[in-house]
Amino acid sequence: MIVRHDDHPNLLEFRHPLIRDKLTRARDEATPSGEFRRLINEIAGLMTFEICADLPLAEVEINTPLEAMVGARLEGPVTLVPILRAGLGMTDGILQLLPEARVGHIGLYRDEVALEPVPYYCKLPERSSEGTVLVVDPMVATGGSAAHALTMLKQQGCDNVKLVCIVAAPAGVATLLEHHPDVPVFCATLDRELDDKGYILPGLGDAGDRLFGTT
C-alpha cells in the first residue's frame, strides 16, 4: 500500500508489511554491513513495482510457440541515476526488475559544516531525457543533495523524473517541494526530524558507511 501525505503533496510513502519489516531490520544498529546492503536492495526492489506502475507501454507483435499475438513492452527508455555513493546500494535491487534500464551517476557529497551539496561527477547515458529517470538515494535529510541532482538532470533536458529513497525527513521533503514541485518523492518511510547535525531521526545511521563497511 502507498499513501500520499496531506502535509507533503509531493510525497508517496509505502505501507507494505514486507517493506516495514525489512526497514526495521535495516535500522537495527546490530545489523552487519552485508545484511544491511541486502535489505536496502530488497526494499528498493519492492518499491519498484509501484513506482513503475504508470510507465507507458507500446503494443508489439510477437510469436509464441503456438501462435502470433499482440503484447506490450515498455515504450521508452528507463534511466536509473544513483547519487554517489550511497545510491549505489539501491541500484541492484531495482535492476533486478528493470534489467534493461540504463544507469547514470551523479556524484555529490555534503559539506559537513555548511550542510550544502558539493558536486564532483555527472555521467548520464545518451537519450536520458527521452524516457523516465529514477533518481535513487537512501536518505533525503535536508534535501539539498537531491534537489541539486534534480536540477542537474533538468539542465540535461530530463523532465520525467522520480526520486526514490528509503528514509526521508520532513525538512528534506519540504525542500524538494519548494524547488521541484513536479517531481514525486517515493519513500519507504517518513521519519520524525533532523538532529542538529542534519541526520535523520530515528533514521538508520550513515547509509553509505553501513552499506560499504566504512566509518
pLDDT tens digits along 46-86: 999 999 999 999 999 999 999 999 999 998 899 999 999 89
Q: What is the total count of domains within the chain?
A: 1
| Average pLDDT rounded to a whole number, residues 153-169 | 95
C-alpha span between 109 and 94 (Å, rounded): 23
Strand positions, DSSP E, 152-191: 161-168, 185-190
Q: Cis bond leading into 202, ω under 30°?
A: yes
Which grid coordinates belong to 183? 517531481
CATH number at residue 56: 3.40.50.2020
Give, for 44, the enclosing helix (H) or strand (E).
helix 33-51
Containing structural domain, residue 171: 2-212
Task: Find cell 517541494 and name the residue.
Answer: 177
% of the chain with per-residue pLDDT over 90: 76
Residue with cell string 545510491: 87
Look at the pTM and tell me if it is higher than 0.85.
yes
Cis bond before residue 110 (omega within 30° of 0): no
185-190 and 193-194 strand pairing: unpaired
Interval 87-112 mean pLDDT: 90
User: Residue 5's pLDDT band (boundaries 50, 70, 90)?
Assistant: confident
Averaged over 180-195, what is the pLDDT? Answer: 96
